[in-house]
Structures are given as structure tokens and as C-alpha cells.
Chain A
Amino acid sequence: MTDECDGKHKRILILVEEEDGQIASITFELLRAGRELADKIGGILCTAVLGHEVVDIANESTDFSDECYCLNQILLADFQVDLYVHALEKLCKNINPDIILMGQTLDNLDLAPRLACKMGTELITDCIGFDIDQGTGRLLCTKPIYGDNAIAIFIIEKKPYMAMLRSKVMGAIGRSSKKGKVFNFDPALDGSLAKTELIKKVTGERVSLDKADAIVAGGRGLKIEGDKQEGDKQEGLKQLEELVGVLKNFFGKVEVAGSRPLVDAGWLPPSRQIGLTGEKANPQLYIAVGISGASQHLSGILGSKKIVAINKDERAPIFKSADYGVVGRYEDVIPALIKKLKELP
């Protein structure tokens, strides 16, 4: 298809993510990881843009990449995994990338393993860093394991090397001096390939914890207190929301969030879950209320500038990972904190 597609060039393919009609931030992190690898192997940095009416996104992606493959198809308007797998498989067989990188997103957890299976290769998910093994030229993928209690570096032996990048572990790429080229690619999709049928989309609130300047998060401690006094269950949550309100005097974007137990109990939507299986955030200020501090939770907040822990259990592990600690019942501490914050000039 393209002049460059002659097998001489090594390609690194980045799957572009879109959010609210724009390129999502994880994409810029992927592009940075991809550019570093491209420089190491003397390869070309490419993007794949899948969707409907995505021409602008495809164009914008070439501010950061050498080539963009644009799969602008009505059948790709919604994420239907079978169609996405098929489209990407077609593209990959055509351009033969050496490396494929995707963001660690819920949709990609569906897509990437199946694409890897079809391509006869392996996939390493949830990576925090990449390198090239000097001896073999193979891709090394650094990945936290055992709930972030250890780190493994995997070596992928089969091409294309495929990996998923955790968000917020890498900085964003800057614009290239040279704009890349856009190539349209038609994967010849057939709607009957879809094995699942979308009945209804239930859109959640537009929350982006990864863009918050300050976060107030609650954990099991709130739930236990809430369970004791049924009926008044979400009193703790109200306090957190009030604290969020006051913090808005000091920070631009302030959000309420929770650890997994609180989300599983239905107190907050999954989009507000911080941690290994939730969002990754790096706010200026993170206030953890009634959160014990399991490593699975900490993995979502490692980049936070300052961490405050409020917990009545002085032995809670969260204090080891906090910059400021308050040992006490949050019901007593938070109202006083709110009152004083309101008084601050």
C-alpha cells in the first residue's frame, strides 16, 4: 500500500484512544514509549485510528507520529470487539508492525488478547516500562505483579511484540518537528462478524480522575461505619463531598473517589475507583479517608504530589505511604478540617 511498506522498515504501531472527541491522554504516553523504542531500533512510529468520523483525530496524531493508518468506518463507530479485532488483524497483516502498543483500558483488555491470539504472538498487559534486549532485539516489558508487590520483566519472543501500557506511568510525548502522513485503510469489514449485540449504552457521568488536581477518596473504613448505622449509610460520603466542595477554593478540579470495596458496595460508580483495576491519578493532593492502604490501592496514586491519610487505626499501612497522617475518626477530623479550611484566607 505505501512506499514504505516494503519490509525494510520496522514499525511500531500505537492504537490511538479517543475520549470526548479528542485524543485521550494515554495515547500521548504510548506515543512517548513508542518513540523511545523507535529510536532504539531505528523504526517508524505509526498510529492506528479506528472509529467513525475520526479523520481529525488521525490528522492530529501525525503531529506526533511518522505514519497514521486511519480506519474510518461506520461499523467501527461503537467498540464491538469482534469487528475491532478483525480490523486490526487485517491492518497488522498488511503493515507488519514489529511492536504493537495499546493503553491499559477496559476495551483493550477485551481486544488485545484476542488480537495476540490471532497474530500467533504473546501479549504482556499492564506494563510500566519497555526496553529492547540488546542481544536479541526482543521487547522487554516491565510489569508489576502480585498486586504491585513485585515487578517482573518479561521478554517477548514472538513478533509482533504486543504490550499494554498502564496510564500515568510515563510522561506525554511532545509534537514532532515533521508531520507524518495519513493513509486510509479499508479492512473490508462485514457486520456479521460481530458475535455480540449492543442493546443499550448507559452513559456514566463525565469524570476523569486522571485529570483531577485534588482527590478525596474513601475506603472500607467508611463502609464499616456506614454498615453499623444502617439508614444513615452514606453519611461518610456526604462528608467527603463537602470536603471536595471546600477544596475547590484551592484547586481547579477536585473529585471524590473510592477504593475498590467502596465501589463494589455500590457507594460510588466504577469510574470513581482508584487502584489497580480502577483509575490511576497523580493529583497535587490526595486525601485517603478510611483507606487501609493495600498495595493494589497505592498503585493508583503513586504519582500524587502529597498524600494525606486519615484513619482511626494507627497501624494502617496507608500511613507508611502518606506525607501527612491523622490518627482519628474521620467523623471528627473532617468537619474540623472543613471548618478550618473555610477560615483560611
Chain B
Amino acid sequence: MKELKIIACIKQVPDPEGPASAFEVDAEAKKVVPVGISPVINPFDENALEAALQIKDNARAKVIALSMIEKSVTPVLRKALAVGADEIIVLQDERFRDLDSYSTAYVISSAIKKVGEYDLILVGRQAADWNFGQVGPLISEFLQIPCVSVAQKVRVEDGKVVGEKLKRRGYEIVRASMPALITVSSEIGDLRYASVNRLKDARQRPVTVWNSADLEIDPCRLEARKIYRLLPSPSKERQCVFIEGEFPHEKGENLALKLRQDKVI
């Protein structure tokens, strides 16, 4: 069987596991400013990369990580190389700052066209920063290829891709011819670890950088997100009554009594 070419799209985001206080709202600049948290690969994109590597574990495949960023390539993105991606392409241009979903998908699909032949595109179901969840399906629309959305498993079988598409209850096993695009959900599993040595090696590996001039794109079609206002999230805080007790089991009993006393149960 010929070698599969798999493109995994990854986005750098501020660590979504950061505490609420780490996301400062600059209402005037209409921006969220991360404070004291490191950038990471969007966790759902890590799932997508893991899905790509799982396919590579079982078949002859080349995995290309593709990322769009406005500034320079970071060690965060190089992690993709450390875990087993064969190549990384970074789309880097000031013009790519704050693009809306449609324009983002336009740029990424232009880059995929430049890559040429490919079999699979894997994308996280959504990004942890803007939580839109639409760039994947939009890319499939631009490229006119089949899309399996929110998959908890992906495999390649007899030259076709088979995905388990999550439903509200259960899932569907769906098959599509390749090339195809799959948006990947967290159920697929966490991205494998990269050893310190491989992370170090990854720093030396070459990175392909394309800017807007390298792609066949019309800069007039690039539009920024249209934000009318940006606000802090309303407080989710409640007044917590701590249940006391000398031993944990006493606290358990006292919780039952307190809930009864307050007519919660």
C-alpha cells in the first residue's frame, strides 16, 4: 500500500487549564490577555495529532503538522515533531492575526492545496480559546472533501477512512473515501508523551514557514473577528457553607443533615 499522507492541524492557545484569574479581559482592546500561563497546543488538536500518530503506528504514513500563527514559531509547536510528526509547516504572517473562522479555514485550505496530494486531514473538534468548532468543517467545504465531524475513533481500512462519529447518545460508524477531513474529539485519547531528548532534538529540526505571499490567497478575503464588545465572564461564585466534623464520616453525616435542614432534600 502506498504511504498515507496525513495533515494534522494544530493551534497554539493559552493553557485552558489555567485558573479563571489567568484570563484578563482588556475590554478596550477587545482582547483576552493570558496572565501567568504558558501557551500549549490546543488539547483537541493534540487529540487530532494523536489520532494521526495512531494511524502511523499501524500503517506506512507521513504525518505533517500544520499550524497558523501570527508571530514566530515556538517550542510549543515543535512538540509535534518530538511526538512523531515527520514535518511541520507553519503559516506565519502578521496578516493572520485575529482572523475569523472563515478566513482561517481559507488560509489553511490554501496551504493544504500547496502541500498537494494528501489522504487525511485531522483537526481538533474545537479550539480552547475561541471555542467556535467550525474551522474543520469549513476546510472540508473549501476543499470539497468528505467530512466526519466529532469522531471518537479514526482508522484507515481498505483505502477508506472509518470514523466513529459521536451522537448525543451513542455513536455512528461512518466511512468515507479519501481524501477526507475528520474533526477529532477528546475521547480518542491524550497525545503521547515526548521524551526530553526528543523535545531537545525537535528544536534542531527544520520547520517549513510559509507566509501569505507563499500561498495563493487573496488578502482582501482575510477578515478579522467582528467583536462588538468583550466582557469578563459573570461571576460563578456562590457562598459556600463548609460542613464541619471531626472525622470525614462525620462531615458526610452532617452534610445529609444540613441538606435536610435547608430543605434541599
Contacts and interface: CB of A to CB of B under 8 A. Distances in A.
> A116, A150, A271, A308: which has the most chain B beta carbons within 10 Å?
A150
B101 to A, nearest CB: 7
B247 A113 contact: no
Interface residues of A, number: 96
A196 B176 CA distance: 5
Given A145-B130, A324-B243, A325-B241, A152 B227 contact: yes
9 closest residue pairs by CB, A with B: A336-B252, A204-B170, A332-B248, A340-B256, A110-B149, A113-B134, A328-B248, A336-B249, A195-B146
Nearest to B47: A264
A176 interface: no
B20 A295 contact: yes
A151 interface: yes
Contacts of B146: 82, 195-196
Interface in A319-334: 319-329, 332-334
B142 interface: yes
Given A122-B102, A155-B228, A296 B168 contact: no
Contact of A308 (B101, B227, B255): B255
Contacts of B233: 144, 148-151, 295
29 contacts: A81-B149, A106-B150, A109-B133, A109-B134, A110-B147, A113-B141, A116-B102, A122-B100, A126-B133, A146-B32, A146-B130, A150-B23, A150-B32, A152-B229, A152-B231, A155-B228, A196-B148, A199-B172, A200-B172, A277-B126, A320-B238, A321-B236, A326-B242, A326-B243, A332-B249, A334-B252, A336-B250, A337-B253, A341-B256
Given A306-B259, A321-B236, A325-B243, 4 more contacts: A114-B138, A117-B142, A153-B227, A306-B262
A81 B172 CA distance: 13
Given A150-B230, A320-B240, A263 B187 contact: yes
B237 interface: yes
B186 interface: yes
Given A155-B226, A198-B174, A264-B187, A146 B129 contact: yes
B20 A326 contact: no
A53 to B, nearest CB: 19
> B20, B146, B253: which has the most chain A beta carbons within 10 Å?
B20
Interface string B245-265: 001111111011111101011
Contacts of B102: 116-117, 122
Say what secondary structure dominates the interface of chain A.
mixed
Nearest to B25: A150
Contact of A206 (B169, B173, B177): B169
B84 interface: no
A99 B265 CA distance: 43
B51 to A, nearest CB: 13
B129 A337 contact: no
Nearest to A304: B238
Contact of B252 (A146, A205, A319, A337): A337
Contacts of B240: 309, 319-320, 322-325
A145 to B, nearest CB: 5
Nearest to A309: B240
